[in-house]
Amino acid sequence: MKRLLLAGLLGAVLAAVAGAWWWQRPLPLRPLAGQTVVDVTVPAGASARGVAEALVAAGVDTPAWLLHLGFRASGESRRIKAGSYELEAGATPQSVLDKLVRGDQALRQVTLVEGWTFRQVLAALRAAEHLQDDIGRKSPSELMVQLGYAGRHPEGRFFPDTYRYAKRSPASGVLRQAAQAMQQQVDAAWAQRQPGLPLKNADEALILASIIEKETGQAADRGQVAAVFINRLRIGMRLQTDPTVIYGLGDRFDGNLRKRDLQADTPYNSYTRSGLPPTPIAMPGKAALLAAVQPAASQALYFVARGDGSSQFSATLDDHNRAVRQYQLKR
């Protein structure tokens, strides 16, 4: 009996040693052709056994029962988080479990740029790595309903920034995050607005900010550009800004803005219509939003590009015409 007990104890010790050795040893991985990592998706609510089976199915060349046993023995199996993970060469059972418990998912990122239109945003999301296209060919109104912003036009409603997402995340999730970020930025800017602005609400500030974004060549001029448009709105002068006309032309714009384009009336033609256009024309950044509600102290009503990215500002038409001759006509 003593020999049996001793043999059993010795077997248990050896099994424990072997288990500890295996727990720290690199797992054999079989990545898919053309890949260097094993992609694993852990579904929500998966049991420890289900997680082990998912790992083996993804390319971890180890018996699922052994992984399951290790997870259960660790006491951490109930803390495993659902998500998308990458396993690299050298991963051990211990490191894999740690990754799953931390929720250290495989992340990618996509950058939305200041001044982009909604069309450019959608193109960037469709081209983003490992981002699921759950947007399809939905109309703008259908998409805004999906995002929880029914009745709002999508143009300018997404904040330009770099967004990180887990592999195989839906594109709508990134859009929703960007929409929420823009709403927060707009609300924050509106709360800091100067008194007496000719803007009725935060949406009008967003529209103006989108124009400022497109019209600013150098950051140092942003406040002055904002002042010109604010001053024009105050006296009922038309904004007369090319970017709104270009936006209104849509696909008809071929890169060359002609006189007939400036005379062709559309809801976005600020040469033929007074006030702000009906929607933003692009995504403004934080600086443009703040400039819209905190314009520089200036009497300027005009500005013209100097040719180096900066602008020349003028308070009178005569001064403006002289600036045009100097910087545009080179006279």
User: CB of 79 within 8 A of CB of 47?
Assistant: no
Distance CA 55, CA 42 (A): 8
What SS3 state is found at 49?
helix
User: CB of 320 within 8 A of CB of 305?
Assistant: no
User: CB of 86 within 8 A of CB of 37?
Assistant: yes
Between strands 162-166 and 131-132, the pairing is unpaired
Phi, psi of 244 (to 5 degrees): -70, -40
**What's the pLDDT score for residue 15?**
47
**What's the pLDDT score for residue 12?**
46
Tokens describing residue 128: 């983003």
Distance CA 295, CA 284 (A): 15
Q: How far is CA 321 from CA 145, 198, 327, in A?
A: 47, 27, 10
User: Tens-of-pLDDT digits for all 331 residues of the chain?
Assistant: 555 555 455 544 454 555 577 788 899 999 887 788 999 999 999 999 999 999 999 999 999 999 999 999 889 989 999 999 999 999 999 999 999 999 999 899 999 999 999 999 999 999 999 999 998 888 999 999 999 999 999 999 999 999 999 988 999 999 999 999 999 999 999 999 999 999 999 999 999 999 999 999 899 999 999 999 999 999 999 999 999 999 999 988 888 889 999 998 999 999 999 999 999 999 999 999 999 999 999 999 999 998 888 999 999 999 999 998 888 877 6
| Nearest Cα to Cα of residue 141 among 126, 128, 157 | 157
What SS3 state is found at 130?
coil
Q: What is the DSSP string of 220-250?
A: GGHHHHHHHHHHHHHHT-----HHHHHHHHG
Q: What is the DSSP string of 83-102?
A: EEEEE-TT--HHHHHHHHHH
For residue 164, the Cα-to-chain-centroid distance in whole angstroms is 8
**What's the pLDDT score for residue 36?**
86
For residue 292, the Cα-to-chain-centroid distance in whole angstroms is 22
Distance CA 128, CA 166 (A): 12
> Using CB atoms within 10 A of its CB, is residue 6 exposed (0-12), middle (13-18) or buried (19+)?
exposed
Amino acid identity of residue 67, one-letter, is L
| Nearest Cα to Cα of residue 225 among 138, 161, 284, 165 | 284
> H or E stretch including 302?
strand 302-305
For residue 234, the Cα-to-chain-centroid distance in whole angstroms is 34
Tokens describing residue 110: 């996509």
**What's the pLDDT score for residue 2?**
57
What's the pTM value of the predicted model, to 2 decimals?
0.84
| Nearest Cα to Cα of residue 314 among 328, 322, 303, 305 | 303
